[in-house]
Amino acid sequence: TIDLATGRRTAIGPPGLYQQVSASPSGQYFLMVEVERPFSWLVTARSFPKDVTIRNGSGEVVAQVARIPLADAVPIGGVPTGPRSYGWNLTEAHTLTWVEAQDGGDPKRTVDHRDRVLSLSAPFNAEPTELARTEFRFGGLRWTEGGATLLTERDRPTRWTRTWMLAGNREPRLLWDRSSEDRYGDTGQPLTAPRPGGRVIRQTGNAIYLTGAGASPVGDRPFLDRLDLDTFETERLFQSNDDAYETVSALLSDDATSILTRRESRTEPPNYYVRDLSGGTAGAPSAITSVVDPAPQLTGISKQLVKYERADGVQLSGTLYLPPGYQEGQRVPMVMWAYPREFVDPTLAGQVSGSDNRFTAIRGASHLLLLTQGFAVFDGPTMPIIGAGETANNTYIEQLVASAEAAVDAVVDLGVTSPDTIGIGGHSYGAFMTANLLAHSDLFQMGIARSGAYNRSLTPFGFQNERRTFWEATDIYAAMSPFFHADKINEPILLIHGEADNNSGTFPIQSARMYMALKGHGATVRYITLPHESHGYAARESVLHTVAEMLNWANAYLKPAGGTGVQ
């Protein structure tokens, strides 16, 4: 600790390799999680042995919370046994909470309760108090300024989430019970206020305030709600107009009659505004910042939300960007940029995501820079992989190709591009998608695949939401791996990968081996490695190199007569 008045420093405990050190809200006690040797090279640091203690300001151990052994046998999709998710209750002086699995950490075991939540207050020498037991896996604790606790539990296979309110000695009350895939039914997240040790949910009287994206069939319209903690009824205080995208950043008064918002539109960059809600409706926004368009040369970019349907009736959508100077009726070359996602419910897979009222901000190695070279971009066309439980990937290829076919048909029918001038691209799981679409369809003229995985036998214990192992679903792993189908890729493909990619599913060997497989079959392929870069690209040189490679590749294979290179 450091005395801010005198600068005097006091050591808390002996030197060690501490994974976590956090002070209680009172400042009198310290939760200390020390990593113990021996380490293991087979698991990540969070699975190392740990000694969890509580110390006082003098560094003396006042409680041994847990001695946690090496977690090298955690079931797939499971959690370690013993205490985990420990932290301080931010509304009490010095009360520690933690969670313990009741199913041995194994999600396949049938039990009434997955976890139990415990707490222990100073002087930490009594038996812990059980706060609750959860049917699903524990998802988190949040506290309100008034002392209530919101407990979240989640079931990953069904994508279901429940939030309970715990208050005093009353029985837990179910606040929210919903699918985490249901964007239209999203109730929002509570606004928070700073407290010693972290943030708590802001509370005025018996109400808290919620902000959310406000997803709807016409796109996102962010909102602010007031939630009564007695009745659980909500009151809509503010919602973004349909000609802009405006989110609530903060309350400027306890009763939410004055709020700070961040507002943008297709033509206006984000700026902060004050809104007066005292009259029951939102007053005119009063600007407090004046950020100007950082790239006015891109002002001519236009965009629109496009909704369309897959052959099996699943509703899909994406955002269409047209380049500056585009004239109605022109058919220009296009790149689609996408990322597949798994869903349990087909009706939720078809929900619209995003808003065409967002300002077009281009950062880093963005695919939207293709717009500067006269390309259209179809951004985020939904590529849902739908199936209950572990079955979704059984038809991964079929569903992926069907979604891509629907996207191509939609933009061609709009008259903005031609079927023989469309490319496909993506990053990470989007790169995996790109290689698969080139291998299993002839919809695209070229592909751009960045930091992807192509051989699923190199991720044998699951990937994304696939929980079966390679040995349990060998045929599925093989069918989904474009490396196993490299001989079918007859369109040009650009592979880009960071040499220091430490994302467990996308080590650089994935692109290196895919490149060799493609070259061995005579494919048109270019492989770029970026020195010192991880899963995303940060250095100026890497960003510029990536953008130049992408633009040159698109110009070469999507424009008539081979294009003209970067302009």
Active site residues: 428, 501, 535
Q: Which of 138, 190, 185, 131 is nearest to 162 (CA)?
A: 138
Are the C-beta atoms of residues 189 and 142 closer than 8 Å to each other?
Answer: no
Are the C-beta atoms of residues 546 and 450 closer than 8 Å to each other?
Answer: yes
Tell me the three state secondary structure of residue 173: strand
DSSP string, 13-69: S----EEEEEE-TTSSEEEEEEE-SS--SSS-GGGS-EEEEEEETTS-EEEEEEEEP
Q: Which of 302, 315, 319, 379 is nearest to 343 (CA)?
A: 315
How far is 143 from 151, CA to CA, in rounded Å?
Answer: 9
| CB-side neighbour CA atoms (13 Å) of 195 | 24
Burial track 60-91 (b if 16+ CB lie within 10 A, e otherwise): eebbebbebebbeeeeebbbbbbbbebbbbbb
How far is 30 from 20, CA to CA, in rounded Å?
Answer: 10
How far is 535 from 430, CA to CA, in rounded Å?
Answer: 13
Angle between helices 396-413 and 429-440 (to 10 degrees): 80
What tokens appear for 310 in the block? 């897959």
- Hey, which residues does 425 pair with through a beta bridge? 337, 448
How far is 88 from 197, CA to CA, in rounded Å?
Answer: 8
* Burial label, 224 (beta-carbon count in 10 A; 0-12, 13-18, 19+): buried
Are the C-beta atoms of residues 455 and 507 closer than 8 Å to each other?
Answer: no
What tokens appear for 99 in the block? 């969670």
How far is 137 from 206, CA to CA, in rounded Å?
Answer: 29
Tell me the three state secondary structure of residue 500: coil
Tell me the three state secondary structure of residue 134: strand
Q: Which of 157, 151, 209, 152 is nearest to 181 (CA)?
A: 157
For 63, 368, 446, the CA distances from 421, given in Å and listed in that order, are: 67, 17, 9
Residue keyed to tokens 């038809």: 395
Please count the other Cβ atoms lying within 10 Å of the Cβ belonging to residue 269. Answer: 17
In this structure, the chain runs to a length of 567
